[in-house]
Amino acid sequence: MPENQEPRIGVYVCHCGGNISGAVQCELIAKALKQLPNVTITRTDESLCSDAGQSMIEADIKELGVNRVVIGACAPMLHEQTFRGAVTRAGLNPYLYQHIGLREQDSWVHGHDKQAATDKALRLMSAGVAKARLLQPLEPIRLGAEKHALVIGGGVAGLRSALDIARQGLRVSLVERSPFLGGRMAQLESVFPTEEEARKLLHALIEKVAAHPDITIFTQAEVTGVAGYVGNFNVHVQQHTRGVTNENAEALMAACSQEVPDEFNYGLTQRKVIYKPYAGCYPSTPAVDWENYNGEPISLNGKQVVLKDEPKAFELNVGAVVVATGFDPYTPPQGEYGFGELPQVVTLPHLIRHLALTKNGQPLQWNGRAIRDVALIHCVGSRQVEGIHQPQADGQVNNYCSRVCCTATLHMTAELHKRYPQLNIFDLHQDIRTYGRGHEEYYRRTLEDGVRFLRYNGEELPKVSAAPKGDIHPVLVKVKDRLTYGEEIEIPVDLVVLAVGFMPRDIHGLEKMLKVSRGADRFLLEVHPKLRPVETAVNGIVLAGTAQGPMNIQESLSAASAAAAKVASLLGRGHVELPPFVASVDEHKCNGTGACVEVCLYEGAIALQTFEENGEQIKRAVITPANCVGCGACVSACPNQAIDVQGWTLAQYEAMVEAIGADMSALAEVAS
């Protein structure tokens, strides 16, 4: 193989459209590096990641016998896979390539001093060449993969992911914590911008999922443990019983007298502890709310029936996991805009359900009082400012935009005007962010309908207070309106509606089991928003929908399909390939001290095993590549230097350090 011969190194310096060449003298770098041992060719290019740039590298490998490649360009996280692909297409092992991040590490931080930037680039590229001389061909780690995926969450994103994965010929187990499928979408009446019935669309998706032969649905179930790695996760699940059967469910539900606030309607109504959230739900069999059932017997046909939960535990072996756990609407703390203190202050989800419970033709009322004037306040629980808003339990404020609230508020405004055209509506906002296709139409329509828009500053929030006794309106809203140059306006209203944002769901236990991370906004974090938008840092764990951040339904469906595509690409071949940059033990140097095991933070990555050699029992460290992340902690702990990380060996590091610290005057003189 050419890569096992004397190194013939090709060095390529990218101008990056001026991002690098604006600070680094790329031609001088190429000229200087040509003097280094084993360097066969040096080139520069305006854009190495382009098709033409990649073709140039491929041609040099094929025609000039280049068997090591060093590229100075933008960050490796952006184009490392691009150049590995080019090297592979030319017939070279993809790991005989070294990437130097000249843009982020040099030109962008030293643009004020071009000579210093060029000198630094010369040292960085020289280090890359030094490492390239010692590169060895590596092979990806290949693991068998269960052609079976787990989807956690039965909302619209989980349902979409499950269906798309199953359509690729993979088995799917869908685990939903509640007794019924549908999630938050089931609580909506219509969707924007199409105005279609939300539950009609949802049920069409549920029917397809329920009918697919490769999808198994577990409701009232929770993941209680996760072990293993991509391709082979062992998942423990506990599932509660529904407590009733198809034969006796309706009769028991009718006979049941214990009631609790109905969370489907956000506590606006009561429901029984044997319940169905709405007509037409799936599954159609009622279920027992075990958290609230008080254990008292129910009288049925002269008999006393005591409901019993008999949960069962089982295990699933899956190759990948989709986390589609959804979101929770923000709940304002006591007193925020009068919430919890003034009965006329409600949230947008409350109003959505209240309108759903109000039949067409009935007047709009709240607590028995007719509603004539309504104020809707945007950005409640979103875009919060430290020192002004009350922080969450973790001490942070929600400084992110929840994105969906503006259109959702305008959608509600249009619905209110349609059903109650005599209603006076006031919209209080920081700004309007109707970013989706067709969303801006709601803004134009509500303007034409006579909705009054007032714009407040995020650091000077509207104030909501009870009106003086005897006033014809129960609530007063004061706001400094930026549209009228800061004039303070007082609005008497009958109802204040808070357009609450999205909050990350509390799934701390699951998060810990899956070893996934949260971002600064506390939603689950992807590896890269553009390059790996649904993957987590844990191979085989992907995200779908609002578990990852605020999204509308269309975006949740798109993200869910992307998650499904990633799962299908991982498991479709029956095996997975992982990068080879994991620890490797030199058995001739290892004497089983166990120091490496003590410092390893990754379960099952390294262990001491006993071997028999020449009639003696000896211990050596053994790596499980699937669990190793190549962090190098074991390398630093080993007293015998018996461990290296493949692709980043101690010898390669030492060569790079020596190159960076070497006297560059001779090379610089050649380049000048």
Model confidence pLDDT, tens digit, residues 579-630: 899 999 999 999 999 999 999 988 889 999 998 888 888 999 999 988 898 9
H/E run at residue 97: strand 97-101
Distance between CA atoms of 623 and 587, rounded to whole angstroms?
A: 11
pLDDT at residue number 279: 93
pLDDT at residue number 339: 97
Mean pLDDT, rounded, for 127-131: 97
Paired tokens of 222: 């929770």
pLDDT at residue number 3: 52
Q: pLDDT category, 131, cuts 50, 70, 90?
A: very high
Across the chain, what does the average pLDDT equal? 95
Share of the chain above pLDDT 70, in %: 99
Predicted TM-score (pTM) above 0.85: yes
Q: pLDDT category, 4, cuts 50, 70, 90?
A: low
> What is the three-state SS of 3-52?
HHCCCCEEEEEECHHHCCCCCCCHHHHHHHHCCCCCEEEEEEECCCCCHH
Q: Which residues, including other chains, have CB under 8 Å from residue 484's CB and lie 6 or more apart?
A: none
For residue 12, the cross-strand partners are: 43, 71
Paired tokens of 518: 């949260």
Is it the case that residue 2 has pLDDT exceeding 60?
no
Strand pairing category for 327-329 and 148-152: unpaired
Is it the case that residue 669 has pLDDT exceeding 80?
no
How far, in whole angstroms, is CA 464 from its chain's centroid? 36
Share of the chain above pLDDT 90, in %: 90
Mean pLDDT, rounded, for 407-416: 97
Is it the case that residue 362 has pLDDT exceeding 60?
yes
Task: At 432, give phi and psi (nearest 5°).
Answer: -105, 125
Q: Is the peptide bond before 504 cis (omega within 30 degrees of 0)?
A: no
pLDDT at residue number 294: 94
Mean pLDDT, rounded, for 145-160: 98
| SS3 label, residue 425 | strand
Candidate from 7-11, 57-61, 628-632 with smallest mean pLDDT: 628-632
The beta strand positions in 301-382, using DSSP E, are: 303-305, 312-318, 320-323, 327-329, 345-347, 365-366, 369-370, 373-380
Model confidence pLDDT, tens digit, residues 421-430: 999 999 999 9
Model confidence pLDDT, tens digit, residues 246-304: 999 999 999 999 999 999 999 999 999 999 999 999 999 999 999 999 999 999 988 99
Q: pLDDT category, 1, cuts 50, 70, 90?
A: very low
In the chain, the domains with their CATH numbers are 2-140 (3.40.50), 148-240+312-326+505-575 (3.50.50.60), 249-305 (no CATH), 331-503 (3.50.50.60), 583-645 (3.30.70.20)
Model confidence pLDDT, tens digit, residues 556-565: 999 999 999 9
Model confidence pLDDT, tens digit, residues 80-124: 999 999 999 999 999 999 999 999 999 999 999 999 999 999 999
Q: pLDDT category, 672, cuts 50, 70, 90?
A: low
pLDDT at residue number 616: 86
Distance between CA atoms of 554 and 242, rounded to whole angstroms?
A: 32
Is it the case that residue 134 has pLDDT exceeding 50?
yes
